[in-house]
Each structure stands twice: as structure tokens, then as C-alpha cells.
Amino acid sequence: MNNVNTIIEHAEQNCKSHGARLTIKRKQILSSLVQSSKALSAYELIDLFLQQSGEKIPAMSVYRILDFLEAENLVHKLKLANKYIACSHITCKHEHGVPQFLICSTCHTVKEITINKSTIAELQNTVKNAGFQLVSPQLEINCICNECLASAA
């Protein structure tokens, strides 16, 4: 990803633009996610916070911070894994499609991609025709990354 400070500054400006505040603890949690290539759980973030700041942070505080960051479109929650990842589009100024996540089942690296809106619409129609309503168009796709594939060969 880009320079962490640049990303955090952009996130701070984004929050300010609609009256929200990116506090020091929020910045630290976001920074940990930005620097990680893997999705992290709240408890992994608690451990990182302690390592980096020498300060303990309660789990409820981390969950509130993650809820805030998700509401600000700065992080995404991977629902199947119950982990979080920084949005790969934090510094972009344009609107993006629905985020989708490729998750390596070997090394747990996560890559955010976008899928064409027409593909999502087709998926919604298929779901509707099956007698269901799509609650979230976010897909989390189990994959194996090229590095893991190459090292397994």
C-alpha cells in the first residue's frame, strides 16, 4: 500500500469532511490494518496495540473503533472470518463498486477487488429467483495465491 502516513492523513481528512474525528487510538488501529497484508481479528489488533504502544486496550473499545472505521468506509469486515482489513481504496477520490475479497486459504493474504455492477445485479436476480433476498453483495472467495501455489509445486 501507499505510505502509511499519507493514508492516515487522507482518512483523517475524510472523517473531518463529515464531522467525524479520527482519534489517536482509531489511527493506531487503522494503521495496524493498513500495514497488514492479512485480515486481523479484534484480538490480534489488541495484541498489536499493546506491542506498539505498551498500552492495553479493552476489546469493546477495539470493536467500537472497528465499527467507526467500517462506517467511515476505511475498513471492511470479512464476515466469514470475523476479521477486518483496511480498504484498498482509502486514498481514492472516486466511487468504487462493491468490494469483493480473495482470501488465500494457505497464507491468509487478502486482496480486495471490485466486481462489475452488472455481475452483482445478475447475482441478485439469481438469488431472488431462488426465493431469497440478498442481504449483502460482499463476496469472500476462498482462493490460493500465486506465491503459495508456486511454493506447493
Q: In this predicted structure, what is the pLDDT of residue 148?
A: 95
Distance CA 97, CA 116 (A): 7
Q: At what angle do helices 42-53 and 24-35 cross, to 10 degrees?
A: 110
Task: Please determine, looking at this structure, whether the domain spanning 99-152 carries the CATH number 2.70.98.50.
Answer: no
pTM: 0.83
Q: In this predicted structure, what is the pLDDT of residue 126?
A: 95
Would the annotation count 148 as a binding residue?
yes
Would the annotation count 143 as a binding residue?
no
% of the chain exceeding 70 in pLDDT: 96
For Cα atoms 107, 29, 46, give the angle at the middle one, nearest 5 degrees. 75
Helical segments of the chain, H only? 4-17, 24-35, 42-53, 59-71, 117-129, 146-152
pLDDT tens-digit map of 83-119: 999 988 887 765 667 788 999 989 988 998 888 888 8
Would the annotation count 107 as a binding residue?
yes
Distance CA 101, CA 104 (A): 10
**Percentages (nearest 5) of helix, strand, coil residues in the chain:** 45, 20, 35
Report, as an integer, the average pLDDT of 63-92. Answer: 91
The most distant pair of C-alpha atoms in the chain lies apart, rounded to whole Å, by 53
What CATH number labels 4-86?
Answer: 1.10.10.10
16, three cell numbers = 473531518
Domain ranges in the chain? Answer: 4-86, 99-152
